[in-house]
Amino acid sequence: MNPLDHIELTGLRCFGRHGVFDFERENGQDFVVDLRLSVQTSRAAETDDIADTVHYGELAEKVVAIVGGEPVNLIETLAHRIATAVLEDERVIFVAVTVHKPQAPIPAQFADVSVTVHDGVPERLPGREGLPR
């Protein structure tokens, strides 16, 4: 089996209204999302056709819509929602999603708060087609 290739989209700044406190939902704040997708890029490399890979412009738009959508209390929930949406593309085998909340209401000086979740569909690995799930 060949090692998987990766597509990374990092530092995607999105506005959302997530948080436990009312003022976080009322005022909103910026969140930063990093994605690492495990994919096979050989087909896209052969054809040089964007239709044969994950279109990272469309991926960015999808993430911005999720972050800007229905508010949640926890960035853990937000990260899992993003991971689920990314995996809707059957070319994505595994995904790591990091959601940063740099303006989290913490009563101490800090550089960043983030949560990273990992999800995937191992059945999509090359050579696993037709194997029982």
The verdict on residue 131 lying in a domain is: no
Quick one: pLDDT at residue 126? 83
Does the structure show a pLDDT above 80 at 2?
no
**Residues facing residue 38 across a β-bridge:** 6, 94
Number of domains in the chain: 1
What is the CATH classification number for the domain harbouring 12?
Answer: 3.30.1130.10
Alpha carbon 121 to chain centroid, angstroms = 15
Q: What is the pLDDT of residues 4-58, one digit of tens each?
A: 999 999 999 999 999 999 999 999 999 999 999 999 999 999 999 999 999 999 9
Residue 75's contacts (CB-CB under 8 Å, 6 or more residues apart) are: 18, 31, 99, 101, 113, 114, 115
Phi and psi angles of residue 35, each rounded to the nearest 5 degrees, phi first: -125, 140
Q: What residues are annotated to the active site?
A: 101
The verdict on residue 108 lying in a domain is: yes
Q: What is the pLDDT of residues 90-122, one digit of tens each?
A: 999 999 999 999 999 999 999 999 999 999 999
The verdict on residue 128 lying in a domain is: no
- Is the distance from CB of 83 to CB of 117 less than 8 angstroms? yes
Q: Residue 131: pLDDT band by 50, 70, 90 thresholds? A: very low
For residue 53, the enclosing domain spans: 5-123
